[in-house]
């Protein structure tokens, strides 16, 4: 089984806890989005799809899907073309996101009232609570502006990121939820399923969807998902 390389080639998912967040890129979702475009009479794609390694999704996989679905590179004036946000589902109103970003719980600890977490203790617990240290920080595209502003999901339950996002980790308040080392943490999923969404990141940071998702795909471990 080959190993995933951060920001580069995709691989078969490994087993066990991961030391860095993983960007799972779904071939099935890319295919569904491409077919939906074809059903609307779109037969070509914008070359801008391939910018920055297909917005961090992997140009090789994206190209393979487009070729398999019979879509060709379009020129200006040739009619409607498939855009990157529509193919990749990047904060697009009708397309599902092809990228899911997950992290891993590294540890869980009690936090007493008045105790703080992360740089400068920007978050201090107003009451006794519990927090989890999670893989994923600004080095992997989980920008600092998300601290105290968005939620993650663990076992389907939402929990807020608290304190300042660090370089490779962040802290999540879990309170009395049953959470343990090695549990999967969902940073980005499908909003249609009630999962944390890229649109939440856009609102929290004021950044563009493409500016947020591209570094995630480039800097995290990237794996092809079914």
CA atoms of 109 and 141, how far apart (whole Å): 25
Q: Give the tens place of pLDDT for each residue, 70-102.
A: 999 986 556 789 999 999 999 888 899 999 999
CA atoms of 62 and 144, how far apart (whole Å): 29
3-state class (DSSP) for residue 36: helix
pTM of the model: 0.90
Q: Give the tens place of pLDDT for each residue, 46-57.
A: 999 999 999 999
Q: Give me the phi and psi of 82, to 5 degrees please.
A: -75, 125
| Local confidence band at 156 (pLDDT 50, 70, 90 cut-offs) | very high
196-to-5, 98, 126 alpha-carbon distances in Å: 25, 14, 25
Q: Give me the phi and psi of 54, to 5 degrees please.
A: 55, 50
pLDDT, position 10: 41
Residue positions counted in the chain? 226
Q: Domains in the chain, please, with CATH?
A: 26-88 (no CATH), 99-225 (2.40.37.10)
Give CB contacts under 8 A, 24+ apart, made by 119-126: 119/163, 119/164, 119/166, 120/164, 121/163, 122/147, 122/148, 122/163, 122/164, 123/147, 123/148, 123/162, 123/163, 123/171
């Amino acid at each position: 089984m080959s190993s995933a390389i951060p920001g580069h080639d995709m691989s078969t998912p490994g087993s066990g806890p991961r030391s860095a967040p993983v960007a799972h890129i779904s071939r099935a979702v890319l295919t569904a989005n491409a077919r939906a475009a074809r059903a609307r009479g779109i037969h070509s794609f914008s070359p801008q799809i391939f910018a920055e390694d297909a917005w961090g999704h992997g140009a090789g996989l994206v190209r393979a899907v487009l070729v398999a679905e019979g879509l060709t590179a379009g020129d200006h004036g040739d009619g409607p073309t498939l855009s990157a946000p529509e193919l990749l589902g990047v904060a697009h109103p009708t397309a599902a996101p092809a990228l899911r970003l997950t992290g891993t719980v590294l540890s869980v600890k009690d936090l007493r009232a008045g105790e703080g977490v992360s740089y400068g203790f920007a978050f201090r617990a107003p009451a006794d609570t519990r927090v989890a240290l999670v893989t994923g920080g600004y080095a992997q595209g989980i920008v600092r502006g998300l601290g105290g502003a968005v939620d993650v999901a663990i076992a389907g339950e939402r929990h807020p990121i608290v304190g300042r996002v660090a370089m490779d980790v962040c802290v999540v308040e879990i309170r009395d939820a049953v959470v343990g080392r090695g549990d999967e943490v969902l940073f980005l999923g499908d909003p249609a399923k009630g999962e944390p969404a890229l649109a939440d990141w856009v609102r929290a940071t004021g950044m563009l969807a493409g500016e947020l998702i591209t570094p995630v795909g480039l800097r995290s471990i990237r794996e092809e998902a079914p």
